[in-house]
A and B are shown apart, each in its own frame.
Chain A
Amino acid sequence: AQSVTQLGSHVSVSEGALVLLRCNYSSSVPPYLFWYVQYPNQGLQLLLKYTSAATLVKGINGFEAEFKKSETSFHLTKPSAHMSDAAEYFCAVSDRVYGNKLVFGAGTILRVKS
């Protein structure tokens, strides 16, 4: 069965610093992977997705993620954090065997310090 582990429930960075949010997956088939962002009291917004094309995926708001099969990882990065990046971030893997279900990680809350 597919699963996702997000390392670190809370991450704190200074404004202008590198953002690195870690995600490792387990999948019985080549995975499709997603990163979502959730701002307080809002729904989920897609940041980026990997669907077996380029391993380096660029998303919205300056975020990108690299698919590394050897490490079963899909870490999310942004070179320079902005105060508006403060939110909760979810990594998810698609269960392609049946039902196309998204399996989510527990989430990482990003805090940006001024």
Chain B
Amino acid sequence: NAGVTQTPKFRILKIGQSMTLQCTQDMNHNYMYWYRQDPGMGLKLIYYSVGAGITDKGEVPNGYNVSRSTTEDFPLRLELAAPSQTSVYFCASSYPGPASSNYGYTFGSGTRLTVV
């Protein structure tokens, strides 16, 4: 089925380790996003991309990096994991733009990350 695929679903990291959260979409969406969800805080935007080769910081980018070499893939990199990065991470993609009748966002199923 078409959509946004995130891997892994669960991960436990030790402080200082690094990892990459993978995100792939097969809908040919230009816009992609990474959010983190913490209890009582809603979802906060980490990074976003409006197309291959273009990325920009969101509200909470510190401690993360992204790249967008293809339309389909938007990996999120944690270089030195810290306990504050324990969270649930969601990747999303967006249909071209608000003027389209198909306008909307598609979310992945999430990655639950624990840093100990």
Residues of A within 8 A of B (CB): 9, 32, 34, 42-44, 46, 49, 51, 90, 94, 96, 98-107
B33 touches A43 (CB 8 A): no
Known: A99-B56, A101-B33. A51 touches B107 (CB 8 A): no
Total number of residue pairs linking A and B with CB closer than 8 Å: 54
Chain B residues with a Cβ closer than 8 Å to the other chain, count: 25
Name which of B19-27, B40-48, B72-80 contacts chain A: B40-48
Residues of B within 8 A of A (CB): 31, 33, 35, 40-45, 48, 50, 56, 58, 90, 92, 94, 97-98, 103-105, 107-110
B42 touches A100 (CB 8 A): no
Residues of A within 8 A of B94 (CB): 100
Interface of A is mostly: loop
What are the nearest 6 A-B pairs in CB distance?
A: A104-B42, A104-B43, A106-B42, A43-B109, A44-B107, A100-B31
Given contacts A34-B104, A106-B40, 15 further A-B contacts (CB under 8 A): A32-B98, A43-B108, A44-B43, A49-B104, A51-B103, A90-B43, A96-B98, A99-B31, A99-B48, A102-B43, A102-B45, A104-B35, A104-B42, A104-B43, A107-B40
